[in-house]
Structures are given as structure tokens and as C-alpha cells.
Structure 1
Amino acid sequence: MFYHNKKLQYFTPPDNPDPIYAKKVQELIGGTFGEMTVMMQYLFQGFNCRGPAKYRDMLLDIGTEEIGHIEMLATMIAHLLDKAPINMQEDGAKDTIVGAVMGGNGARDSIMDVMAAAMNPQHAIVSGLGAMPADSVGFPWNGRFIVASGNLIADFRSNLHAESQGRLQAVRLYEMSTDPGVKDTLSFMIARDTMHQNQWLAAIEELKADGLEDTPVPSSFPDLPDKKQHAYQFLNLSEGTESAEGRWAKGQSIDGKGEFEYVEQPKPLGSEPNPPTPDPRLHGTAMTPQVPAAQTLTS
């Protein structure tokens, strides 16, 4: 059962409407690494968790928090779209383009600038000046963005990645604004992203300490002795040998089960491909002329 508290976790209203910035904020809601993604990712990981109760409870705690973050951002967008000057914006765009032509400047560049800076028309047409489950260019949020594999360390590493990208995008949006209210609300969300990154790092360490998972994932799969020589080789497959200077190219492997080896001139271990003859009923092109499929079927 979920309960909704009408008070926001944190919110400071924007000082001024800004429909163009509202379009940008959509990325934090419905983008690949937006709040909808982490909300669904954590909740499904929690719903599917078969490990110790502390992990399931933690996942549902943070997944529920992310629902609240979406409401915070939706509220911010509603304020940013308040009294959006739709007609004025359209007239301004026309004047900008006309001015560029009359002034001898490149109209194409001016048109592209206007398109990049314009208000999202769907905020007026579709959502009635409200937030949408979409990113900053109007692409709808997609359930394929989420990761919920049932292996907690694999999932927690994905969560760390999502929070890292999400905090990066929130920081970039913070830098794009001069509105004190927007910056105050985003600063709270950035602080929570800091906590969440630390949380997933701690959870990964906890899984290891509990003896439930380790590197490589899945740690429950046994090592294959006949392929171990390939498990710790770094292959230099681009020009230059600067990669040999990294931690990944020498010394003990991170999982403690091998030694990194730098292979400066790796050789192919397989032969040239020789695909089998295609089924004539699929009418692919083979190495030699084929009997027509109809003859094959009637013979």
C-alpha cells in the first residue's frame, strides 16, 4: 500500500515564469536518467527482491522518495509555465527570423536558435501548461530505461550509474538558471543525489560483506579454468600504448583472483568466418547459385 502526503519533501517556488527552462526541466522527469527512471528502477528491484529484508526495504524507501521528486519537479514546471506568453513567443520568433534576413545574417542559423530556445508546444497543447512524462525534446519516457535483473550487485551498480548521470544533469541545469527558487530546489535534489550515490556504494560493500555477491557478477558462476588466461588480459586494440599506464593493465586484478596482463599486439584466436549456406526458402544470397525454393519444396 502506498500513501501520499500532500506536503512536498522540499520546494521553493521559482521567482519568475520561464517556459523555456520548463522544457529543460523535463529531462529531469522523463529523460533516460530522470526521476521516472530511478523511481521505477528502484521500485521494481524492490518488488522483485528475494534477498535479505533490509535490501528490499531500502529499495522501496528510495523508490518511494523518487515519486516525491517527480512531484517536486512537476510543481516547478507548473510555476515555470504560469502565464506562459505563447503568442508573444511566436511573434518574437518571427521577428527574430525576419530581422536576421533583413540584416543580412544567416536565416538558417537564426531559425535553429529559435527552435532550440522555443517553448515546448506540447506544454500548451497536450498538458495544459503542466509537466509530462517525457524528456526535454518531447520523447516519451520508456520502461526500457530501467534495470531490474534480480542480481542485487548488478542492479546497485546500475543504480550508482543512474544517480551519477542524474546528478550531473541536475548540476548542469542548476548552472543554466539564475532563478533563486529554481536553484534552491535543485540544490536540495543535488544533495539527495549525493546521498544516493553514497548509498549505492555502501550497499555494494554491504552485499560483499554479507557474502551474497562479489566481482565478477554473477559471483555464483564458477571460474572456467580453460579460459582463465583471457579473464585478466587488457587488449591494446587501438593505436598507441598509453593504456598500458593504467591500473587495469598491471598488478593484481580487482577481484583478487588473477594478475592483469597488457597485450600490446593481440592476435586473433579464431579463423575467418565461413557462414553456412542459407535456407533457400529465405532467399538469401549464398556463395554459389542455389536451387529455387519452389523446386526444393516439390522435389
Structure 2
Amino acid sequence: MRLDNTSRPDAPGPDELVPSRYALRVGEINVIAVSDGVMQIPAETMASNADLAARSAWLHDRILPDLVDWSLNQVVLRRGDRTILIDSGLGKEYPGVARTGHWAHRLEAAGIALASVTDVIITHMHFDHIGGLLADGMQERLRPDLRVHAAAAEAEFWEAPDFSRTAMPGPVADKNRSTARHFLAAYGGRLRTFEAESEVAPGVVVTRTGGHTPGHSVVRLVSGRDRLTFVGDALLPHSFDQPGWHDGFEHDPKEAVRVRVRLLRALAATGEPLMGAHLPFPSVCRALADGDAYRWVPAHWGY
């Protein structure tokens, strides 16, 4: 994969002092991780059911503050004449989050013309996954035959969402609700829903898991002998060694635990790489079984 401007953009600005794009290859599929920036999550929201002492010890062991930086990772897939985006970051949907909103211009800096995008896969409709597509002028720059793929259960849920089992602050819940409504109004005519699984392109399969949201989905890439799974929000930074902790954004916390344990067990058994929306950028890693839990094993960067 030769994408020189991925690692050496022509005109880096102040926000490019740290890596914001990372390219790899899965067989015949070119993959680029694109960062929308980072957002801060309070520790009590990150692990709403955790014992205070256990949560404090987890943070202490990793030299982390009570406000934890979470990456906002999106993915671009290219195969043949198809250019597929997975999620779109926060965009400007939550103006108070100052270190986000870089997705669109980083796509362009990586040589991804918005007019070339054929498909978008939405893992779920939380505002930090659909916000970039709602930025001013974005919809007009996309091709009229763009296909937007999401689970039918996800679209149905956001028509009248239930937040009763979440632990997110009220203003955040309200913003999730209004952003999803805005997204469905803007892109509903381009939406292609599926029940359980859909092959978006050869070797690109999106599968509904539920848990985090009713229609939360993961994307599995298969090409030749190579495999990679984008897990969306099913696995978070603490999920490997604390899979039983509930994230405050989970709409069905108990089901979310079952989903991530199944994912971790399967990924650890095969040793296949994975990527995640909120794992440290560029998020390419593996899961390794460690007693009753798992270890996060980051992949070495390819040069």
C-alpha cells in the first residue's frame, strides 16, 4: 500500500504534530485509521458499576487521572472501486469538546476525496460516531448515490430511544437523542438497513451485536489469509482486564458484557488483530487470554 501522504502530509498544521492517520493492509483491502481527536470520559462513567477502590487502583496502575482521554478512531476501507467509511467521529456536534472535530480535514489530508466515498457503515448512532457526517456542507459534498449501512434495530431504536439503563449525564443523553434524530432526517433516504449481517463489499461484513446499543455492530474484514475486526464500542480501554465493568453509555449493560466476552474469547482464540473506536490510536491490537480476563496487546507500528 503506497500512501505517502498518509505518513507525510504536504502541509502539516499545528494539529498534525501527533500522528492522526495510520495505514495498513488486510489482504486486498487498504485500511486507514483516521483520528477525529480525543474526548475525556469521567472514570465513574467509564465504569459505572465498578467498586470505587478497584476503579481507583486500575487508574493508578496506569498513571491515569479521573478524566480519561478516549481516542475517537474512524476507519477508511478501499478495495477496487469502493471507498467505505466506518463511522465519522464527533464533528462539531458537541462544541464543548475542544480536541475533536478533525475527521473531515484529515480525510482530505490522507487523499480521501469525499466525492469518492461509495458507502458508510455506522456501527451505532451515538453522537461521537455520526457527528462528522452532520458538519456544515458535508452532505452536499457526498455523492447522491451514497449508501449508508446500519442495523435496522439501530434506526428503530433512535426513533424513540430508551436511556433508562444508561449512566450518562442528562445533557449527554439529550445530545445523543437530538443528534440521532438529525442524522436520520439527513441520511434516512440513503439508509440501507440489515437485520443480523450484511456484506457491504467483498470481504467487508457488518454484523449486529447489540448490547452497547440495540443495533450496535462490528465490521469484519477477510481477504486471503488476513483478518481484522473493527469492534466499534464493544471493547473499550478497560474491557480487556475488566470485561464486567459497565460503560455509562451502554443501553443494555448486561448484554454488552456478554457481547464483549464473546468477542474477546473469539479474538483471543484466533489471535486475529482488531481495532476499536476508543482504544488508543491507531488502536490496532490483539486480545490475549489472561486467566478469567484478557490482556490488550498493541501491534507494532509498520514502517
> Could you say which TM-score interval applies, normalised by the shorter chain?
under 0.3
Higher helix share: 1
Q: State the TM-score, normalized to the length of structure 1.
A: 0.23
Higher strand share: 2
Larger Rg: 1
Q: State the TM-score, normalized to the length of structure 2.
A: 0.22
